[in-house]
Structure 1
């Protein structure tokens, strides 16, 4: 199979805001500019150890997943995706993101809503259902990477139907800050990131104003923020 661009539909906070600056600095990568901002002081980790701890999420840039990475189906062009994303975004209004808190999700550390987030869930549902017709089927290798043997029957059904197991009622919004960490390191990272988050000024509710389209070029190690589609924009 010829290498193809991979796309993802994400929530990306405004790039001039404290939340974007915090997340990009933690990951050591700004997905909009391609720069490598300096990480905040993370107690218990030197610079090299923190680079390793954040290697996995750095590939994707700071974001909250709405529609996980996918390839376009045969005969579908990027312009087709852009038109459908604009239509999807137009069906929603900008809204305030719930307050976020630093929390462990299994072996990872992430920012998660401190209270229910129905508007985020509704936006994710729309992105999954309205854009999935443009997605290429998963390859056998892509399915295997999702470790289907660890998934529930419902999650396997979603993986087969939508290319990702954690959608619809299995969706849990989060903004990943680390890769998988051993328990002791995870505890250190959790405490240090909570302190850094509070000190950053990013712990105030941010606005969700658009759908963000990220792209990974064939052979490129990371995704870049390609384009934003404003919520509620007139077609």
Structure 2
């Protein structure tokens, strides 16, 4: 697999913002959405120096969260700032899973668009070579707006039923693997679990990241950046 040419994937996913009425946000049982999040992380500044700090960024987090701040509507800027947390659900029933997973020591891409149809046929998204770039983003005002760059460092086959055999933390096991099953997918459906390259363990000098800012005292907000790369990233209607 390492000898294959790396692939660039423009990966569109739903871009509407979670903007709940209540500040305590439960598990998402509706369509996928994005949240503007604050949590501990690491960021690289303009001088290419690495810092540990709380950061704010756009991401997918379908587990519970707490709204810490709200802003009035202003263009594509976020309207709510969420602090992510999770619990083990006490009730059965549908809930959304979180993918890509941008938390912890490694990012993961685990299931979205990897199988299709009632027969759960595998797609080419299970065969990405090492070093491939996945540009996750959403169509906003006819522009492709980025929230995650995922660089493939490794992959392994997996099923949600076998999650206890994998080197992942409890948060991923509950918020993604168990939620795939809760969402109605066969627990034995086969997927590829991709680990993302990190700044400490890059692939050919590249690593996974999310556009982010230090959280600071004022809770800065920003719109997702529009990406214009002719012949690589397409404008979408």
Normalised by the length of structure 1, the TM-score is 0.26
Higher relative contact order (CA 8 A, sep 6+): 1
Normalised by the length of structure 2, the TM-score is 0.26
**By percentage of residues, which structure has more helix?**
1
